Each structure stands twice: as C-alpha cells, then as structure tokens.
A and B are shown apart, each in its own frame.
Chain A
Amino acid sequence: MILDLPRFVEAERPHWTALEKTLTWLEMNPGGRLTLEEAARFQALYERAGDGLTRVASFAAEGELQRYLAWLVSRAYAEIHETRHHIPFRPWRWLSVELPNTFRRHIRAFQLAMLLTLLGVALGGFAIRYDPDAKSVLMPFDNLRVTPAERVAMERAQQGQQLTGRKATFSAQLMTHNTQVSLTALAFGMSFGLGTVILLFYNGLLLGAVAVDYIAGGQTIFLLGWLLPHGVIEIPAILIGGQAGLVIAHALIGWGDRSSRAERLRHISRDVVTLAGGVAIMLVWAGLVEAFVSQYHEPVLPYGSKIAFGLIEALLLTTYLARSGLSREASVAR
C-alpha cells in the first residue's frame, strides 16, 4: 500500500491532538469520568489512531511517527480496556471481614508456617538441652547468653529502668524491625519459598533454644510473663508473614493449577497485600506491648497478670482470625 504520508498526517493530526488532550486529562485526574458522549468520542479517536498506526507501520522511515502513534494508542488502550472491577477500600470491612477471610482461605500455608517454626523450636530446644555449648551459637544476643537466673535477677533489679527515657524509641525500633523481618519472610516467597522456610525455621530455632534454656533454668513463669504479652501477637504476625510468603511460593510453583504463572500470581496479589496489612497492624500492637508491658516484672507487674494479659490477647486473636467475618463469607458463598 502506498500512502500519501503528508496528506495523511495533515488529515489525522487534529484527531491525534484531541486524543492526546483527553489522555492527558484522564492521567492528571485519576478519579475523573467521561460523559457517555465523551467516552464514545474517546473510543473513536483511539480506534482512528490505531488504524493510523497500522497504516504507518509499513513505512520504514516513519519510525518516529510510528512510535508516537504506538505511544498514543498504548495509553488509550490502558484507559479503555481497564474494565476490571475495582473494589473500594473500606477499613472496617477490611479489618472485620477481608483480613480474617483471607487468613482462613490460606490456612494450610499458615499451618505449614507454624509447622516449620515448631520444627525449629524442637531442634533449638533439643540442641540447648543436650548441648549447652550450642547456646553461644544459637543465641547471638548478649542479654540471652547469661544464665536465666542471672537474667531474671537483672531484669527484676532494673524493672525497665534501662529503658527510662527511651521506651517509645525502643517500641518504634521493635515495630520497624519486626515488620522488616515479617515482610522479608513474605518477600522470600519469590525464592520458591526456600527463603521463607529457612527464615521461619531459624526463628523457631531461636525461640526453642531460649524457651528450653529458661525452662531448664527453672524460670518458666518469668519466661511466660516476659514473652506472652507481646509474643502472642508478634509470633503469629511473623507466621502470617511466612504464610503470605508460602502463598506466593505456591503460586510460583503452581502445583495442581493449570493456569499460567502470571495468572496465578495475579490471583493471589490482593490476598498477599491483605495479609501484609494484617502483619503491620499486629506488629504495631506487639511493639507497644513489648516496650510498655513486657519490660516490667514482679513486683511492679505481677507475672500472673502479665500471663493473663497474654492469654486474653491470644484468645481474642484466635477468635478474631477464626470467627470474624464468617457470616459475610457464608452469604457471599451462597
């Protein structure tokens, strides 16, 4: 086909300009909507530019014109064909329905995350019980290397005084650090889950080593009083981070799913975001509790009350994750 290019450009230029103006307006106003008439005109301009692109494509020397039209058409295509249903974000609905439902939908991933952590706990506990020298390797923190009895005496003497004037900072550091760990467990899902598995197992290893060390040292009550208030939220949060990582890994591997990898990943992306949001909220709470509750011991704060506080938190969290939004889920299923 031989095209009279100058005449063609001259005739089409006003339409391209009009299309570009509409596109710029749409891009500058993400919430903006076209009227029915404007939308019909926009569609016509898009099709016209697409037709122009097809015609110009045969002219090798018109590379720039071709690229310009391709850019125009690609922008219009993105606007016109983006018809996927957008679910508006409603914070209360998200918290009461979407987060717990998402958690339950991927419960197997959570169970696997918990199993991996428990395996780590078992190995860490076993190592400390039968090879106390392993303590220096398993617990790379100075305050954990002293004997449990020494640590308890120290903590009871200090009563959180070591944090005087820096409790809020300590709390903020805990929040950010734990969020980083959890989101890393999530992101490691892209290593086909290998990184997530290692991270969860290592966390369990550390936890098991500390727990058995304190239990063997006769400090079980102190351990529970120290760990439960923040741990019952912090540990599940890291497990949920791992759960999200395993969900990503499952989508990457695609066992028993014949859809493409891109489709599988697209399918779970909203769930991953939801789980990550839940993790962030839980870790903010855990950080506050660890800085302002966990660091106080008897006689300032009785162990019984700290343990009871932790158990109540655990009960509420379990109820929330197990029951919240169930009726909405059932009505959607019907």
Chain B
Amino acid sequence: MRAETVLIRTPEGIEFDLPLAGPISRMLAFAVDFAAIAATGAAIAQLVAPLQLFSEDAARSAMTVLYFAISLLYGILTEWFWRGQTLGKRLLGLRVVEASGLRLRPSQIIVRNLLRFADLLPGLYLVGGVCCVLSSRRQRLGDIAAGTIVIRTLQLKEPDVDQVLGRKFNSLAESRHLAARLRQKVHVKVAHLALEAILRRDEIQPAARLVLFREFAGYFRDLVPYPAEIVEQLTDEQYVRNTVDVLFLGNSSASGAKKLLPLRSS
C-alpha cells in the first residue's frame, strides 16, 4: 500500500512524518517549470537576437545550445539554490529532500535531473508518472536513483473559531480532566469535521443540520460521557460548539483563554 507520509526517526528518538507529494501536484509543478523554461528560452531568443546582425548562424547556434542548457540545468540549479525547490515546486508547496529527511547533496540533484530523460519517455512524463503512482514513496525513476522524495511543505492555518464560538461560558471546559480526555480521544479528522460543520452551519438545510449535529453530539457524548448536570441544558448543536471550543481553544472562554495555534509555517 502506498503511504501518505514517510516516517523519520532521528537519533534523538524523535519521530515525525513527512507528507509525500502526490502525482497531480507534481505534474502541475512540472507544468509551471515547463512554462518557466519556455519563457526563459523566449527571453534568451530576444537577448541573442542582436547577434543576427553579425552572423545569423552564430545566433541560431547560440540559441540551440542555450535552450538545451537551460532545459538541462534549470532543475539542477533551482533545486540547488532553493534547497530542493524549482519555481513550480515553490508555487505548489513541494520540496525535494533526501529519503532520510536530510538535505540534498549536489550529486543527488544532478542524478534525479539527468534521469528525467528516462522518466519523460515515451512522452508526457509517462514512465515517471506511472512509477510515481506505483511507488510506495511516490518516487519517479530519478528519485529512486538519487534516493530522494518529494514532500509537501505545510501551509498551516489557524482555525478561525473565535468568531463562531463567541466568548461564552463553556460548561464542558469547566471539567478540566474531562476536557483533557476529550482532546486526547477525539480524532483530529473528526475535530476538523465538527469545526467545519459549525463554520458552514448556515449553508446546511435545517433538517439536515439537526441530523448532523445530533450525530456529532452523540459521538462526542459516547466518547467522553459528562455528568448529566453539566450537559442537560445543552442542545446538540451547542454541545458540538462547546466540544469544538474545548478541542481547538482548549479552555473556557470565560477564563480568558488565548488561541492555541498562532502557527504558520514559512
């Protein structure tokens, strides 16, 4: 089975996951790079044009060699200077790293770019694309030869829960041990789904909204049962709101909690 992430274990015993880039985002990045090479080629044609006044042959020859050099060296130079990123990868939020998570070495950058000759065959990046889809670490031939992987660089966004939840008293957060258990037990995907449901409540039909929040509330109630006196007055939707409040803000608004995640990666 193909993994979504690569697990790295450091000598210090720290474990972390690197999220692998998918074939589609890599293809889009390649399209951007292809356009960049074409644009650079066009710019060079303009620069070389005055040479034609002296010798048309010299101008054509310079153009042929320069265009070939650019298409060969573009990936090598950009990945070297931008630490594993080309223009396309920068725009799409991708980066090439060594499979063990370390920095790229020059020979690795050159090998993965030279091997493009095989990956491009028989056209439209077919060999590379098929390899990427079949490979457990989403590697094309060049990546396998160079021992590299392409990962997604994260763009973390802080969930905008303040405006949704308001700053009201939250009875669920008052029982700190139960709130902590809730944060521990709720799966991250479910937490985000619940937040999404609150953020988009007005887009949902009233009948469907009732069912949705009933199911969410039932799930959270079963996961961490609260004493009846704390939750008896809460509607299903309010229960979900308070739960999301606990999950994302981690504390009662009444106690003046700050946002937990002022986190944006570069």
Contacts and interface: CB of A to CB of B under 8 A. Distances in A.
Contacts of B16: 53, 69-70, 73-74, 77
A68 B262 CA distance: 10
A78 B97 contact: yes
Given A68-B265, A71-B265, A74-B16, A50 B10 contact: yes
Contacts of A79: 103
Interface residues of A, number: 72
B114 A186 contact: yes
Contact of B250 (A6, A172, A175, A191): A6
B101 interface: yes
A260 to B, nearest CB: 10
Contacts of B8: 74, 77
A5 B141 CA distance: 44
A10 interface: yes
A195 interface: yes
A58 B156 contact: no
Contacts of B248: 61
B110 A172 contact: no
Nearest to A168: B61
A107 interface: no
B141 A67 contact: no
A59 interface: yes
Given A5-B260, A61-B188, A82 B118 contact: no
Nearest to A9: B260
B10 A77 contact: yes
Interface string A158-184: 000000011111011101100110011
Given A5-B250, A6-B250, A73-B16, A60 B188 contact: yes
Interface in B64-83: 64-65, 68, 81, 83
A50 B111 contact: no
A258 interface: no
B255 to A, nearest CB: 9
B147 A262 contact: yes
A30 B77 CA distance: 13
A62 to B, nearest CB: 7
Given A5-B183, A169-B64, A248-B145, A276 B10 contact: no
B188 A2 contact: no
Contacts of B10: 50, 73, 77, 81
A93 interface: no
Given A74-B16, A191-B118, A60 B186 contact: yes
Contact of A172 (B55, B61, B144, B153): B61
B180 A2 contact: yes
Contacts of B61: 168-169, 171-172
B58 to A, nearest CB: 5
A81 B97 CA distance: 13
A187 interface: yes
Contacts of A173: 64
Given A2-B177, A63-B188, A187 B250 contact: no
A38 interface: no
A7 to B, nearest CB: 10
B182 to A, nearest CB: 8
Interface in B87-126: 97-99, 101-103, 105-108, 110-111, 114-119
Interface stretch (A208-216, A265-273, A298-306): A265-273
A166 to B, nearest CB: 5
B258 A61 contact: no
Nearest to A5: B250
A189 B115 CA distance: 9
Contact of A74 (B83, B101, B141, B257): B101
B266 interface: yes
Contacts of A136: none
B102 A63 contact: no
Given A61-B247, A168-B61, A172-B65, A190 B144 contact: yes
A329 interface: no
Contacts of A269: 105, 107-108, 111, 145-147
Closest 7 A-B residue pairs measured CB to CB? A63-B188, A187-B118, A168-B61, A50-B14, A70-B16, A172-B64, A187-B117
15 contacts: A2-B181, A5-B183, A50-B14, A53-B16, A64-B156, A65-B263, A68-B156, A78-B97, A168-B57, A168-B58, A169-B61, A187-B115, A191-B118, A269-B146, A273-B107
Interface of B: 8, 10-18, 55-58, 60-62, 64-65, 68, 81, 83, 97-99, 101-103, 105-108, 110-111, 114-119, 141, 144-147, 153-154, 156-159, 177, 180-188, 191-192, 247-248, 250-251, 257-258, 260-263, 265-266
Interface of A: 2-3, 5-6, 9-10, 13, 20, 23-24, 27, 30, 47, 50-51, 53-54, 57-65, 67-74, 77-79, 81-82, 84, 86, 89, 165-169, 171-173, 175-176, 179-180, 183-184, 186-191, 195, 248, 262, 265-266, 269-270, 272-273, 276
Given A168-B58, A172-B65, A176-B64, 9 more contacts: A68-B154, A73-B14, A77-B16, A78-B101, A165-B57, A172-B64, A179-B68, A187-B119, A189-B145
